[in-house]
């Protein structure tokens, strides 16, 4: 493996604590929503209507969508763009070939994504992140104005524009929705069995037929790219690298974005779940509501962190955030061995109530594991592999005091 002399990952003392905390919070949201969205992804929407908790699942599910659907993904995407600009800036300051190192880093992420998507979990996001990461690289010399003028429309308009185009060109999204519904029916039976070959075969079929080959998936990754650009723009603004200087900005963002985001997301959920308002209103409002609420959540975390509140919780979230890749793949394994038929088969009971309970339980275990691991090692296990492959040299793993 060729080495890059002088190249090394960010030192522990160079990490931005607030970013790790927000990333940990976002990972909990991803876990919660992935469990909740198994209805519609891995089984038909009506598959859980017989549960004793169905009456409360309806309202808890609406609340889940209101508070978290799209928000955790939005936070993750913004942080990815922020991290891209941060990495490029640090490497260039050291006189290192930043582009080559970043592209190698994204290539390794793509490898992890392909393993996850085609062997572990049908709802993988890493492949889309890696693809858009390669595109993001070509924006590294863009002005802040261009990043904002391109990134913001991509973020809030990719979905609505797709919906409009499909209405004009294909008479609505019925064809794509039928593909997804048929896939959910297949998985609703197959995922409760324990046939590894059939399981992997379905992952391959679903990825090519339902995701990578459909306009909705490309609109989705276009939205991701827009968020990447906004995150890169935020780094250049210095918002998270000098928190005290922007305390008032975070306060104003929270005061404006929280009620506005709640209102827009509430209207979107009411439209989608209960049919209130004109058709398509939810899809039009959801991206903007998600961006506003994600900004509000991040601002609230930053303000609490600067005030010294929730220190025990934030220490746990930061530990999970430092090991985000490891914990994300662990969640895929959790679905296989707890939710699907290879293990407990809880998918047949996975209403909104059980989804939230499982998310809290697993995430508590991930906090405990992450804190234990990082008390002994500098990186999570997959993060260590990622860094070794990225920098072309073996990275020190153990902390000095751990022997």
Angle at 342 between CA 337 and CA 343, to 5 degrees: 50
Query: Is residue 313 domain-resident?
Result: yes
- Which residues sit opposite 75 in a β-bridge? none
Query: Do the Cβ atoms of 215 and 151 come closer than 8 Å?
Result: no
Q: What per-residue string of b and e applies to 29-39 under the rule 16 or more CB within 10 Å gives b?
A: bbbbbbbbbbb
- Sign of the dihedral through C-alpha 103, 97, 7, 91: negative
Number of Cβ within 10 Å of residue 4's Cβ equals 16
Angle at 291 between CA 285 and CA 294, to 5 degrees: 130
Number of Cβ within 10 Å of residue 177's Cβ equals 11
pLDDT for position 349 = 95
Reduce the DSSP state of residue 129 to 3 states and report it: helix
Of 8-17, 33-42, 106-115, the poorest mean pLDDT is in: 8-17
* pLDDT confidence tier of residue 11, bands split at 50, 70 and 90: low
Count structural domains, the chain. 1
Query: Is residue 1 domain-resident?
Result: no
Of 186-190, 200-204, 247-251, 388-392, the poorest mean pLDDT is in: 388-392
Q: How far is CA 247 from CA 231, 232, 244, 300, in A?
A: 18, 20, 5, 11
pLDDT for position 403 = 53
Mean pLDDT within 129-146? 96
- Alpha helix locations (H) across 46-190? 54-68, 71-93, 98-115, 126-137, 144-169, 174-190
Instruction: For residue 43, report the phi and psi dihedrals to the nearest 5 degrees.
Output: -165, 155
Query: Do the Cβ atoms of 159 and 287 come closer than 8 Å?
Result: yes
* pLDDT confidence tier of residue 1, bands split at 50, 70 and 90: very low
Q: CA-to-CA distance for 28 and 320, rounded, in angstroms?
A: 9
Query: Is residue 69 domain-resident?
Result: yes
Of 123-132, 147-156, 182-191, 274-283, the poorest mean pLDDT is in: 274-283
Q: How far is C-alpha 145 from the geometric centre of its chain's CA atoms?
A: 26
Mean pLDDT within 56-70? 94
Reduce the DSSP state of residue 44 to 3 states and report it: coil
pLDDT for position 173 = 64
User: Which DSSP state fits 45?
Assistant: G
Query: Do the Cβ atoms of 294 and 226 come closer than 8 Å?
Result: no
Reduce the DSSP state of residue 1 to 3 states and report it: coil
Write out pLDDT tens, residues 97-113: 889 999 999 999 999 99
Query: Is residue 154 domain-resident?
Result: yes
Res 176 pLDDT > 80: no
Query: Is residue 396 domain-resident?
Result: yes
Query: Is residue 2 domain-resident?
Result: no
Express as a percent the part of the chain with pLDDT over 70.
94
Q: What per-residue string of b and e applies to 278-292 under the rule 16 or more CB within 10 Å gives b?
A: eebebbbbbbbbbbb
Res 10 pLDDT > 70: no
Query: Is residue 7 domain-resident?
Result: no
Express as a percent the part of the chain with pLDDT over 90.
77
Average pLDDT, the chain: 91
Q: Which residues contact 363 (CB under 8 A, 6 or more apart)?
A: 27, 28, 31, 320
Query: 205: domain range?
Result: 12-402
Query: Is residue 3 domain-resident?
Result: no
For residue 25, the number of C-alpha atoms closer than 13 Å in the C-beta half-sphere is 25
Q: CA-to-CA distance for 123 and 339, rounded, in angstroms?
A: 14
Res 201 pLDDT > 50: yes
pLDDT for position 344 = 95
Angle at 340 between CA 336 and CA 342, to 5 degrees: 70
Query: Do the Cβ atoms of 339 and 38 come closer than 8 Å?
Result: yes
CA dihedral 263, 264, 266, 269 (to 10 degrees): 180
Q: Which residues contact 264 (CB under 8 A, 6 or more apart)?
A: 285, 286, 288, 289, 292
* pLDDT confidence tier of residue 177, bands split at 50, 70 and 90: confident
* pLDDT confidence tier of residue 171, bands split at 50, 70 and 90: low
Mean pLDDT within 305-316? 95
């Amino acid at each position: 493996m060729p080495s890059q002399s002088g190249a090394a990952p960010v030192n522990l003392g160079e990490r931005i604590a607030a970013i790790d905390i927000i990333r940990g919070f976002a990972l909990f949201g991803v876990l919660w929503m992935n469990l909740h969205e198994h209805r519609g992804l891995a089984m038909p929407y009506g598959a859980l209507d017989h549960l004793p908790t169905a009456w409360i699942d309806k309202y808890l599910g609406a609340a889940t969508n209101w508070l978290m659907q799209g928000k955790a993904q939005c936070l993750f995407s913004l942080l990815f763009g922020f991290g891209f600009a941060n990495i490029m800036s640090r490497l260039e300051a050291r006189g290192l070939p930043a582009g080559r190192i970043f592209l190698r880093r994204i290539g390794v992420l793509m490898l992890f994504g392909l393993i996850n998507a085609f062997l572990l979990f049908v709802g993988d996001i890493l492949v889309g992140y890696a693809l858009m990461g390669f595109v993001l690289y070509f924006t590294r010399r863009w002005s802040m104005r261009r990043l904002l003028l391109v990134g913001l429309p991509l973020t809030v308009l990719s979905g609505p524009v797709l919906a409009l185009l499909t209405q004009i060109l294909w008479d609505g999204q019925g064809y794509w929705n039928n593909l997804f519904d048929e896939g959910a029916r297949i998985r609703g039976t197959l995922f409760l069995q324990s046939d590894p070959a059939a399981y992997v075969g379905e992952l391959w079929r679903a990825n090519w037929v339902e995701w990578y080959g459909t306009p909705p998936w490309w609109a989705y990754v276009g939205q991701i790219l827009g968020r990447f650009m906004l995150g890169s723009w935020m780094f250049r603004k210095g918002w998270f690298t000098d928190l005290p200087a922007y305390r008032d900005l975070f306060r104003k963002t929270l005061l404006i974005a929280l009620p506005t985001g709640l209102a827009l997301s509430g209207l979107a959920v009411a439209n989608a779940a209960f049919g209130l308002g004109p058709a398509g209103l939810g899809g039009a409002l959801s991206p903007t509501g998600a961006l506003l609420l994600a900004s509000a959540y991040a601002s609230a975390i930053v303000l609490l962190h600067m005030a010294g509140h929730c220190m025990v919780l934030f220490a746990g979230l930061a530990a999970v955030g430092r090991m985000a890749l490891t914990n994300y793949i662990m969640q895929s394994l959790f679905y296989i061995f707890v939710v699907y038929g290879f293990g407990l088969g809880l998918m047949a009971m996975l209403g909104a109530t059980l989804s939230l309970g499982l998310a809290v339980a697993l995430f508590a275990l991930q906090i405990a594991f992450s804190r234990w691991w990082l008390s002994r090692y500098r990186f999570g296990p997959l993060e260590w592999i990622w860094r070794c492959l990225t920098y072309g040299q073996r990275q020190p793993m153990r902390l000095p005091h751990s022997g």
